Every structure is written in structure tokens, then in C-alpha cells.
Amino acid sequence: MKFFVDTADLNEIKDLAATGMVDGVTTNPSLAAKSGKKFLDLIAEICAVVPGPVSAEVTALDHATMMKEAAVLKKIAKNVTIKVPLTPDGLKTCKALSSEGTMVNVTLCFSANQALLAAKAGASFISPFVGRLDDIGQDGMDLIADICQIYNNYDFKTEVLVASIRHPVHVLQAAKLGAHVGTMPPSTLRALFNHPLTEKGLKAFLDDWAKTGQSII
Ligand code: E4P
């Protein structure tokens, strides 16, 4: 399973990339706004840190303008993935860009039928938002299970990028379902490393080691 980090905070991205666990980055207009940086500069800086796919979202609503925005974003770096919303114009843009070999991430997916459309439009990634479904009393992971099954049935190459991940249990559930990618906030990625018994066990080992008075180097 690939891990993407869902942030536009460059310091967080650099810090986590150093762990070797970051396979890509997703941004969205809200995260970009929060960063306070110029969007094109921000994407260029992220692409220089992470060689994997970096999602940059178009902000137009119509196909023609989406294509123009995508042309600008694509020029920033080879690993830019154009993010388009799951709308008729977004999918039209997805089809056009994917036919010319550009990676596309279709975002704001909330149903399996929407995911089916994105796969038919040649998306590289589909982003179902599990946390936002949980927020309205639905089970986001049921959607992931449905999409994985449907993509499997037809051998679609579109990767299931589980988005709106809120906590480590989402990551575990997505991994058990065989989702290709999970994009998560930095705090969730960091939380995956932790277990109280790891900390406790390490402390006990090091306390015992200190008693020997030895050092390895
Ligand atoms: C993914 O690409 C989205 O940016 C993100 O996962 C949305 O997460 P949220 O629902 O926590 O805002």
C-alpha cells in the first residue's frame, strides 16, 4: 500500500519524506489556501521534495478552462498529477488528459458509480472520501470495499486512493481491503509508528543495557 501525505505544509512533507514512508502528496484548494503560498510555487517546492505523484487540483468548473489550468500545472514538474472534481466536466477533462498520458486524480468521490465513471474516463487515481462519509453517518469503508470489488471485476487500472482518512484504523481497514493508496494528514502517518508496548519495551531494553556500562561504538 502506498502512503501519500495530505498536506501543503512543506516542513511536514520534508520531515515525513525523510522517514522513507511518503510515496506521494495530495493537496486541495483548502490546503493550498492554508499554506499562504503562491500555488504554482508551492507545487514546485513539493515536487522537488517528493518524486512520487503530487496532486494539484484545478479550480475551474468548465472543461475548457480546466484544460488550460492543467496545461499550466503540468509544466511545473513531471510528477504533477492533475486533480479534477467528479463532475461531467471533470471527467471529460480526465479522459482528455489521461489519453495524452497525463496522470489524473479524480477527487470528491462519494459513490461506487462515480468511481466506475472515473475508471472509464481513464483516471490514474480515484479519491473516495471516507472521513466525510463517516461524518454524515455512512460507512466510508463500505464504499472502499465496493470500489475495490468493482475495479477488480473489470480489471480497471485506476488506483483506489483512500482520502479523507482521519485515523490509523482507517489506514488498517483500507489496507485490509487492498486499496492501493491512502492519503492521510501528517499526524495520522506519524501515529502509525506508535505503539505503547514498543515504547515500554524499548525503555526496558535500554535500561538493562545501561547497567552493562558498555557501548557499541
Ligand atoms: C484528498 O485528496 C483530500 O485532500 C483530503 O483527503 C480531504 O480530507 P478531509 O475530508 O479531511 O478534508
Rounded mean pLDDT, 24-44: 98
What is the per-residue pLDDT for 170? Answer: 98
Q: CA angle, 215 as apex, 213 and 216 as ends, to 5°?
A: 150
Average confidence (pLDDT) over 119-135: 98
Ligand 1, atom nearest to 31 Cα:
4
Alpha carbon of 86 to ligand 1 centroid (Å): 14
Cite the active site residues: 83
Question: Which structural domains are found in the chain, ordered by start?
Answer: 2-212 (3.20.20.70)
| Residue 7 confidence (pLDDT) | 98
- What's the pTM value of the predicted model, to 2 decimals? 0.96
pLDDT at residue 58, as a whole number: 98
Substitution candidate for ligand 1 out of 4, 7, 28, 170 with most atoms within 8 A of CB: 28
What cell does 98 get? 489521461
pLDDT number for residue 83: 98
What integer pLDDT is reported at residue 20 of this predicted model? 97
pLDDT at 205: 98
Span 44-97, pLDDT tens digits: 999 999 999 999 999 999 999 999 999 999 999 999 999 999 999 999 999 999
DSSP letter string over 64-122?
HHHHHHHHHHHTT-TTEEEEEESSHHHHHHHHHHHHTT--EEEEEE-SHHHHHHHHHTT
Task: Name residues whose C-beta falls within 8 Å of residue 103's C-beta, 6 or more positions apart in sequence.
Answer: 53, 80, 81, 82, 124, 125
Average pLDDT of the chain?
Answer: 98
Query: Residue 158: which pLDDT band, with cuts at 50, 70 and 90?
Result: very high
Indicate the pairing of strand 104-109 with strand 24-26.
Answer: unpaired
Mean of the pLDDT values across residues 114-134?
Answer: 98
pLDDT of residue 204: 98
Give ligand 1 pocket residues (Cβ under 6 A). Answer: 6, 26, 28, 107, 127, 129, 131-132, 163-164, 183
Residue 37 pLDDT grade (very low, low, confident, very high; cuts 50, 70, 90) = very high
Best residue among 6, 126, 184 to mutate for probing ligand 1's pocket (most ligand atoms within 8 Å of CB) is 6
Q: How confident is the model at residue 109 (pLDDT cuts 50, 70, 90)?
A: very high
Q: Which residue is closest in CA terms to ligand 1's atom 9?
A: 164
Q: How far is the CA of 171 from the centre of ligand 1 (A)?
A: 14
Rounded to the nearest angstrom, the distance between the alpha carbon of 99 and the centre of ligand 1 is 26
Share of the chain above pLDDT 70, in %: 100
Nearest to 103 by CA among 88, 131, 84: 84
What average pLDDT does this structure show over 102-131?
Answer: 98
